[in-house]
Structure formats: structure tokens, C-alpha cells
Amino acid sequence: MLLAFVALALALSSCSTAPNKRELQYLNTDGFGNRYTGNAEDQNYVTLGDTISITDSYHQELGGAYTVDIDGTVVLPEVGAVYVAGLTRTELEAFLMQKYSPYFAKLDTKVRLQTRGKVFFVFGEVTSEGSRPFPGDLTIFEAVTAAGPNEQTANLGRVRLIRADPRDPLVITCNLADIIESGDSTFNILVHERDIIFVPPTMIAEFGYFLSDLLFPVQQVMQSVGSLFFTGRNNFNRRGGGGGFGNNAIF
């Protein structure tokens, strides 16, 4: 009966309808879902909430620090609101030179980015799951170590690095145990922003989780029965039915 139920569930799931036209317009078709994509390891780029510091040796009035708004724009002197999200530092410098050139004969515009919000993710057999700030120049061994792998349950020989994408996803299985045991750092690859690192359980831990899930309904029933038993016993004792028959004993 259990096998029949599983087969029925699989059949129903396979018969699910395709997304309709309205749903399709909301589905992600580029990258991990961020509006602005790039690789900060190659060259940093502007995202929402970043601070852009601008200096110009010829025109002090153009200098200042500007925070990128939720729509990807900043409001600058002379030119007003300009769209800057997604541009790298060099692209932004060239863009500002072009914007300011009609107003000033000489320009020496320099840009510095103070970024925030770039993250990667760690899940699985670690003490600190979830998103973590991406500092750059980070290896997967450093990332897993910082997340605190569980000594009893973490399978460091099968750590997965997931570079999610709707068209060209990449999953690399990394044997981090080799680094500790033999010093082989072949799979100590660099982490990119928005990467997902999953530390799986060992076979023994996975079997233990399976048994725990299997016995969970039984544990719930036993806890409920035990709770009812102790509640009834306490009520009986309060009525005088404990050590002997009191005046209020119920027969």
C-alpha cells in the first residue's frame, strides 16, 4: 500500500500543468535572480545600496558620496538623476566623464565604490546556516570552516558548490577532507558571490535522520499519550486518590 501511495503521488506530480502566460513573465531567466549581475572577483560593480564616492581634481563641487537608490539611480550635481546600477568602476568613470563633458572643459573624474549586500550562502551540516557577507578572495575551505562544520555529521568529502542559473547551472563536488588528510588543494576553489555551498551529512548521520523522520509520528503519539496519562494522574491525586482514599475519593 505504501508503494502504491508513492506511485500515485509521483503520477500526480508528473501531471502538473506547465506555467501559464502570466506566471512565465515572473519566472527568472537570467542569473540567480539579481537585477544586476557580474563577478566582483574580476571587477566590482554597482548594486542597490552601494555608496559611490566621486572626486574631480579640477572641480571640487562635483565631489561627494552618493547612495544608489532602489531604482538604481543616484542624483548628481548638474546632471540630476542618472542610472548607474550594474556599471563597473571604470565604466562609471567613463560614463560620468561623458555626462559632465558638455558642462566642463577639463575633467578628471575618479570613482570609488563602497559596496554592501554582496553575499554567498552556506547550508547543511554547519552551525551557521544562511547568507554570509562576501569579502572576496574566499576559498570554499575558508567558507566552510567559518560556518562551523559539525564534527560528527558533516561529510567534508562531498561538499557541493552550486552556481545557480536557469540556463547553465553548475554544481561542483569538492573533497575538502583531502586538504586536511593529504594537503591536496585541487578542489579548494574560489567562491563567487551568490554561490551556494552545501555540506551534506555522512551516511551514518543520514541514516539517523531517516530513522528520526520515520519514528517522528510514533514519538508524537507517545508524547500525547504520556501527557494525557500524567494529566489524569495529577487530577486523580488532587481529588484525593493518591496515597489512600480521602473524603472526596470517587468510586
- Boundary of a domain, candidates 114, 132, 148: 114
Q: By CB neighbour count within 10 A (0-12 exposed, 13-18 middle, 19+ buried), where does 133 fall?
A: exposed
Segment 74-83 long-range contacts (CB within 8 Å, at least 24 positions apart): 78/103, 79/103
| pLDDT value of position 98 | 92
Q: What is the CATH number of the domain that holds 91?
A: 3.30.1950.10
Judge if 199 and 123 occupy the same domain.
Answer: yes
- Alpha carbons 66 and 96: distance in angstroms, whole number: 13
* Number of neighbours of residue 115 by Cβ within 10 angstroms: 18
CATH number reported for the structural domain that contains residue 190 in this entry: 3.10.560.10
Domain boundary among 160, 180, 203: 203
> Model confidence over 71-113: pLDDT tens digits?
999 999 888 999 999 999 999 999 999 999 998 889 999 999 9
Structural domain includes residue 159: yes
Question: Residues for the chain: how many in total?
Answer: 251
Question: In this structure, are 129 and 189 located in the same domain?
Answer: yes
Instruction: Return the number of other C-beta atoms located less than 10 Å from residue 155's C-beta.
Output: 21
Same structural domain, 123 and 110: no
| 55 and 123 assigned to the same domain | no
Q: Note whether 80 and 129 are same-domain residues.
A: no
Return the H-helix or E-strand segment holding 110. Answer: strand 109-114
Task: For residue 155, give its domain range.
Answer: 119-203
How many angstroms separate the first and last alpha carbons of the chain?
46
Are 109 and 57 within one domain?
Answer: yes
Q: Is residue 39 part of a domain?
A: no
Residue 77 lies in a domain: yes
Of 6-10, 62-66, 89-93, 224-228, the one with minimum mean pLDDT is 6-10
Task: Find out whether 64 and 72 touch, Cβ atoms under 8 Å.
Answer: no
The answer on 199 and 134 residing in a single domain is yes
Q: In this structure, is residue 87 part of a structural domain?
A: yes
Residue 228 is assigned to a structural domain of this protein: no
Q: Is residue 35 part of a domain?
A: no
Q: Based on the structure, what is the number of domains in the chain?
A: 2
Per-residue model confidence (pLDDT) at position 249: 45
Residue labelled with grid coordinates 579640477? 58
Please check whether residue 57 is in contact with residue 73, taking contact to mean a CB–CB distance below 8 angstroms. Answer: no
On whether both 129 and 108 belong to a single domain, the answer is no
Label the pairing between strands 196-199 and 119-124. Answer: parallel
Whether residues 157 and 198 share a domain: the answer is yes
Q: In terms of domains, do 68 and 82 share one?
A: yes
Q: What is the pLDDT of residue 251?
A: 34
Whether pLDDT at 218 is above 80 = no
Give the end of a domain, one of 170, 188, 203. Answer: 203
Residue 174 C-alpha cell reads as: 569538492
Phi-psi region at 209: left, alpha or beta (left = phi > 0; alpha = psi -120 to 50): alpha
- Greater confidence (217 vs 70) lies with 70
Res. 250 pLDDT band, cuts 50 70 90: very low
In angstroms, the CA 154 to CA 203 distance is 10
Same domain, 172 and 195: yes
Do 130 and 189 fall within a single domain? yes
